[in-house]
Structure 1
Amino acid sequence: MASSSRASRAVPNLAFRRLRGQRSPGEFAAVVRKAAREIGEQVSCDARYIGRVEAGEIRCPNYAYERVFRHMFPGLDLTDLGFTARERVRGGGRAPARPDAARSTAVTAADPAVEAAAQGTADSTDDSKNDEESDVLRRAFMTGGSATVAAASFGLGLGAVLSALPEPGAGPTGRRIGDSEVLAVEDAVRRIRLLDDRHGADGLYQRAAQPLRAAYVLLDAGLTARSSTMDRLQSGAGELALSVGWLAHDSGRVADARSHYAEALATARMAGDAALEAHAFSNASFLARDAGRHREAVRCAQAGQRAADDLGSPRLLSLLALREAGGWAGLGDRAGCEQCLGRAHTHFARGAAAADPEWMSFFGEPELEFLQAQCWARLGAWARAVHHARRAAELQDHRFTRNLALYRAELATSLAHGGAHDEAAEAGHGVLDLLDGVHSARIQSMVATTATVLAPHRGAEGVPTFLSRCETLLPRA
């Protein structure tokens, strides 16, 4: 009911539609994402978002989108772009905060990175429930000093939906699944990805299970939904399974990650969703490589490339070629690895496309360099590994702390193996400096590996201090 009443009040945004001009919604979304990268923002803009803006469903964009739109159209304010001024949207008609949600906020010092993440979540609408939820989210983020506190917000979008549905197996209820439920699933995916970018997976994984369960309960209960709505829900649930699986992967829960990825792949196959299938195979290849199953990594990457062939996204094909390269490197096949790296560069050079999946926002030049570094490291070509890892760390936006820590950790390990012990210790210190705000078992394991390699070289400058810090800061095995 909420979505239908909101739609009835929506006024089409004709000013924004005029700014799009002759470009399709997908093409314009690609322009928005490109503009965001130019100013260091990260927005998950797709054709559906552009459609919602033009339909008037989004009366006022969130702060990240506002900065991007102002960059795209200098001199125009929100009202010139056809939006309602933020103070009018936020000013009235707001329901009081739910007591249980208010109690969930912590009383620790505010974390600026988490505050920035809060500003980049749900878009503003004139729906009082959404305003209330956004305010609760903002308070939870702004008063919470850790990813664990921030993760408490995961359930807000889907909590009410979940509570209104029966337990699995309880039989049909006649409830019609609509846009509001699908949007809640899609928003949960975006929130998880944003928090992971900032903080890493540890502390997020357990909380992320709730929206995933809600998504699949919706699938079970949604037999009366429209076919198009059901397709979106299946895709959203599959993407959510992949996001939760990644949190399990990054926090060292390999069996859990494998299960979630398999669930997403099954959902993709049932829905006939080639894009979701390619994503699932990409993640499965990555996990197999990390688990030492290198032939499986190659096969999964190749299957992902077959699924992605007709999707029109060179960047997706580039990433999948890099996944295959990592598998060949793990097998010690340098020729196979180099062939895949060449193919990855060819695809990457074709640039971004309107068909690039939303989840690939992380895949820019820093990630390209990082994945190459990993390949050369597995082949024992330490000088080349150092070159690419250093490039990845230099190019990475420092606001995305988790990836910065990851790239520096790869650099430290390659330097240590390559005999540059003092430089390795310096890079290792840089990673340890970030671990207070980043919780990733994978990164911690990489730092521990660097410490093991450096342990016999305590005479090198900086190494004793680095080893001492590792003993203090890293969890005991």
Structure 2
Amino acid sequence: MASSPMTSSTPSPRPNLLFRRLRGQRSPGEFAAAVRRAAREIGERVSCDARYIGRVEAGEIRCPNYAYERVFLHMFPGRTLTDLGFAPRSAVRGRGARTESRAPVSHTTIQLYESPPSEPSGSSLHECDPYEIQSNEESDVRRRAFMSGTATVAAASLGSFGLAHAPAEAAAQRGGRAGEAEVTAVEQAVRHIRLLDDRHGADGLYRRAAAPLRTAYALLDAGTTRQSTTDRLQASAGELAISVGWLAHDSGRFDDARSHYAEALATARMAGDLGLEAHAFCNTAFLARDAGRPREAMRAAQAATRAARHLSSPRLLSLLALREAGGWAGLGDRAGCEQSLTRAHALFDRGPSDADPEWMSFYGRAELEGLEAQCWSALGDWQRAARHARRAVGVASAQTPQFTRNIALYTAELADDLARAGRPDEAATAGLRVLSLLDEVQSSRIQSMLATTARVLLPHRRASGVCGFLERHASLPRAV
């Protein structure tokens, strides 16, 4: 049977000729060796070989992970990723990266912004890169536009299904089916929610992100045109449920987060998607730890590890070992915690892999140090916790400055650890740094940590800098 012109095959990737020219006369193997040497110079470990270089030059890797990015920018100082022939990270962040080029999106998008009055008619803020937004007036306009906007389905093709405002059953009765454009819209929603959370934190994003999630599951209920589309939609809907669950988690809505993670896990089980299952259990473990259920945290992390063993990603297994360590720490089991931490470091040191999930782009050396700091804090070893938290702040500030929320989180952890370790002046200095980021980052988790630190520092109000921190903290607007 002849193929329909509407279902064309995936276009071939565009070769990265700029990167090929930078390799010069060296063979792919020789260039890979140079990449590994450069990685060692800056303390990175990458498993670069000729095959990886070939994939980059063929255009199969549109944007490298953060470890490779740091190495390439070290090798070619003064150049950007674009100068090296890669796509902007905003174009590939999230699960949608692998499939964005499969079909034209037409005008199908799940909007996360409404255009503010200052934007020209027809502009689409959802196309901007939140990593490029600076802390200036334009950033504030865009952020307020998002916070006050309504998450809607913008395209007529989605509207024709009636999924934005009508029950999914009605769409099914009209014979509506989701296709490439609709699935790509869900994938884009996942990507942009993650980008915005990286930059601004969860508060204010959560309720806006719920609308794209409802739309995604309505699309699943309405059915799709092909099994491959169903597989993509199930995976993307599950990832979207996890992203929305994380926004609930980080903004203190633990019951909502638990429900979203369970929804993602059910989707993973129905689809037989081990990667999605590992992700859902990973976040469930983190939530259980924060909710004061350490044994559940430990068991959820172990379940995630069982699912992830088949995925060939040491970095994923490393993160899951840290999740398990958090559970052991909450139980007060120092030996179990140390064993898990040792395993996490050993797996991390094996370096990144092509099999690493895209959602793990946040997991680098800084996150490893930050999560270890939380483990020692739970065990009451404040000096050791502060040491790791300080490392996390330093690495994150140097290597991933776009992850503003994480920098604020690590600094808040450092402030609390220093306060409890009997170093109030240093704690106050760290606390003031966090306060300076709160105009840009909205996270109930971070605000709660600062409030705890303020209580710990109250008896030391006469110490150098502490009074200033307490006064600035007291002036913060309180959540209603």
TM over 0.5: yes
Question: Which string of whole-angstrom CA distances, capped at 9 and with x for unpartnered residues, describes residues 274-307 of structure 1?
Answer: 0000000000000000000111000100000001
The one-letter code matched in structure 2 to 1:165 is F
1:434 counterpart = 2:466 = no
CA 1:429–1:332: 2 relative to 1, 3 Å: same
1:308 aligned partner: 308
The one-letter code matched in structure 2 to 1:168 is A
2:247 aligned partner: 247
Distance 1:229 1:421 in 2: 56
Superposed displacement of residue 107, structure 1 = 4.8
1:105 aligned partner: 115
Q: Secondary structure at the match of 2:464?
A: coil
Q: How large is the Cα RMSD of the aligned pairs? A: 3.6
CA 1:106–1:179: 2 relative to 1, 3 Å: same
The 8 Å contact of residues 95 and 359 in structure 2, kept in 1 or not, is answered as no
The one-letter code matched in structure 2 to 1:150 is F
Larger mean CA deviation between 41-50 and 396-405 belongs to: 41-50
1:469 counterpart = 2:469 = no
2:410 aligned partner: 407
Task: Pick one of 128, 147, 151 that aligns with 1:118.
Answer: 128
Superposed displacement of residue 117, structure 1 = 8.4
Superposed displacement of residue 445, structure 1 = 0.1
Superposed displacement of residue 401, structure 1 = 1.2
The 8 Å contact of residues 103 and 181 in structure 2, kept in 1 or not, is answered as no
The 8 Å contact of residues 282 and 304 in structure 1, kept in 2 or not, is answered as yes
Superposed displacement of residue 108, structure 1 = 7.4
2:266 aligned partner: 266
1:205 counterpart = 2:238 = no
Q: Secondary structure at the match of 2:168?
A: coil
Distance 2:155 2:254 in 1: 27
CA 1:154–1:388: 2 relative to 1, 3 Å: farther
Question: Which string of whole-angstrom CA distances, capped at 9 and with x for unpartnered residues, describes residues 362-388 of structure 1?
Answer: 000000000000000000111110010
The 8 Å contact of residues 179 and 225 in structure 2, kept in 1 or not, is answered as yes
1:293 aligned partner: 293
Superposed displacement of residue 238, structure 1 = 0.2
Q: Secondary structure at the match of 1:145?
A: helix
CA 1:116–1:377: 2 relative to 1, 3 Å: farther
1:219 aligned partner: 220
Superposed displacement of residue 182, structure 1 = 1.1
Q: Secondary structure at the match of 1:169?
A: helix
Q: Secondary structure at the match of 2:245?
A: helix
The 8 Å contact of residues 366 and 391 in structure 1, kept in 2 or not, is answered as yes
Q: Secondary structure at the match of 2:266?
A: helix
1:316-355 equivalences under 5 Å are: 316-355=316-355
1:58-457 equivalences under 5 Å are: 104-107=114-117, 118-119=128-129, 142=138, 144-145=140-141, 147-150=143-146, 155=151, 160-166=156-162, 167-170=167-170, 171-222=172-223, 224-396=224-396, 397-457=400-460
The 8 Å contact of residues 151 and 208 in structure 1, kept in 2 or not, is answered as no
The one-letter code matched in structure 2 to 1:105 is S
Q: Secondary structure at the match of 1:350?
A: coil
Superposed displacement of residue 48, structure 1 = 7.5
Distance 1:14 1:105 in 2: 32
> How many residues end up aligned between the 2 structures?
410
The 8 Å contact of residues 405 and 434 in structure 1, kept in 2 or not, is answered as yes
Distance 1:407 1:147 in 2: 23
CA 1:405–1:46: 2 relative to 1, 3 Å: closer
Superposed displacement of residue 148, structure 1 = 4.5
The 8 Å contact of residues 376 and 384 in structure 2, kept in 1 or not, is answered as yes
Distance 1:445 1:218 in 2: 37
Larger mean CA deviation between 154-163 and 456-465 belongs to: 154-163
Question: Which string of whole-angstrom CA distances, capped at 9 and with x for unpartnered residues, describes residues 130-174 of structure 1?
Answer: xxxxxxx9xxx9575353423577846665454222413334332
The 8 Å contact of residues 390 and 408 in structure 1, kept in 2 or not, is answered as yes
Ranges in structure 2 where 5+ consecutive residues have no aligned partner: 21-27, 29-49, 74-79, 82-88, 120-124
The one-letter code matched in structure 1 to 2:406 is N
Superposed displacement of residue 346, structure 1 = 1.0
The one-letter code matched in structure 2 to 1:417 is R
TM-score w.r.t. length of structure 2: 0.77
The 8 Å contact of residues 325 and 375 in structure 1, kept in 2 or not, is answered as yes
The 8 Å contact of residues 366 and 395 in structure 1, kept in 2 or not, is answered as yes
Question: Which string of whole-angstrom CA distances, capped at 9 and with x for unpartnered residues, describes residues 230-261 of structure 1?
Answer: 01100000000000000001111111101000
CA 1:47–1:236: 2 relative to 1, 3 Å: closer
CA 1:369–1:108: 2 relative to 1, 3 Å: farther
Distance 2:237 2:99 in 1: 21
Distance 1:185 1:151 in 2: 20
CA 1:373–1:357: 2 relative to 1, 3 Å: same
CA 1:214–1:52: 2 relative to 1, 3 Å: closer
The one-letter code matched in structure 2 to 1:163 is G
Distance 1:408 1:269 in 2: 37
CA 1:387–1:157: 2 relative to 1, 3 Å: farther
Distance 1:421 1:232 in 2: 51
Distance 1:155 1:5 in 2: 32
Superposed displacement of residue 46, structure 1 = 8.4
